[in-house]
Amino acid sequence: MANQRDILRRMQSVKATMQITRTMEMVSTAKIRTALERAEEAEPYKNAIAHMLAHVSSSASMGDQPLLQTHDAEKSVLFVIIASDRGLAGGFNVTLCRSVFGQITALEEQGVKVSVICCGRKVVEFFKSRGYTPDLYFEGMSSEPTMDEADRIASYVMDGYVAESFDRVVISYHHAIGRVEQVEVHEQLLPVTTDDLRLPNSPRQGEEGTFQIGRVQDTMYRFDPSAKEVLGYLIPAYVRTVVYHALLDSAASEHAARRQAMQSATDNAQEVITNLSRTYNRVRQGSITTELNEIIGGASALEEDQ
């Protein structure tokens, strides 16, 4: 059994670690609110563009819109993976990366060429260590993404899809459900399909409807110059908005995951300190008992000598 000095040293080390984890938990808690607000503020704009796109698509010919057209054969797929620059967030990074890697492996076994765009240092490290060179990568901005980052990603994927450099684009990230839960999202970014534009809507209280491409009837819009040209501007705006919202959503999820991880680490540290305190008290009590026995034994020996 360790002596008292070793136990005290261990307790001090754990207390120092607990102060760090508690501080990180408090920082993440403070950042969650701002990150969630940014994601929630972007949600109505994303829904409004999808709503408008559904209406415009019902009034315009989609035959000349390359971002809406499915390629004849799927020979190449691009994954946009969004996670974190830093660790200490539980399984936030590794679970998403492994999930995407599993999809990539399955596609490659079918003879499909796969390329990646990595957002977050941990994502870059994960895929580079497995022999993948990202087409684009972004580091140092996972917790506070910018519209410029979203524009660069959206422009690259749209230009590549139109040029048929890849036949499908998938964006993968974590969606924050409040401050506690995060769920993986693997969303097809291109081509834009009917399912992508299905939005919950309540035309009358207590009822739900959907807006879908090619299914919106009796629209109340007049287009100038034309619905076709408006659609040509609207689709790129929609893609940029989806990418930007995914970046914001992932940032909120990152802070929430780190807060949970640091809270668990703090609780575990407190439990370790409690157990070490009990061990220290037992060792100390045993030491005192030994010393008392030695004193009593010495006193008895003196009495016998007299």
Cβ contacts of residue 302 below 8 Å, gap of 6+? none
- pLDDT tens for 179-236 read 777 889 999 998 887 666 654 443 333 333 344 444 444 445 676 677 677 777 888 8
As to burial, measured by CB atoms within 10 angstroms (0-12 exposed, 13-18 middle, 19+ buried), residue 207 is exposed
CA angle 267, 268, 273 (to 5 degrees): 100
The phi-psi region of residue 204 (left if phi > 0; otherwise alpha if psi is between -120 and 50; otherwise beta) is beta
Q: What is the pTM of this model?
A: 0.78
- pLDDT tens for 128-180 read 999 999 999 999 888 888 899 999 999 999 999 999 899 999 999 998 887 77
Cα–Cα distance measured from residue 45 to residue 242, given in angstroms and rounded to the nearest whole number: 10
Cα–Cα distance measured from residue 197 to residue 213, given in angstroms and rounded to the nearest whole number: 7
DSSP label at residue 188: E
Cα–Cα distance measured from residue 278 to residue 141, given in angstroms and rounded to the nearest whole number: 44
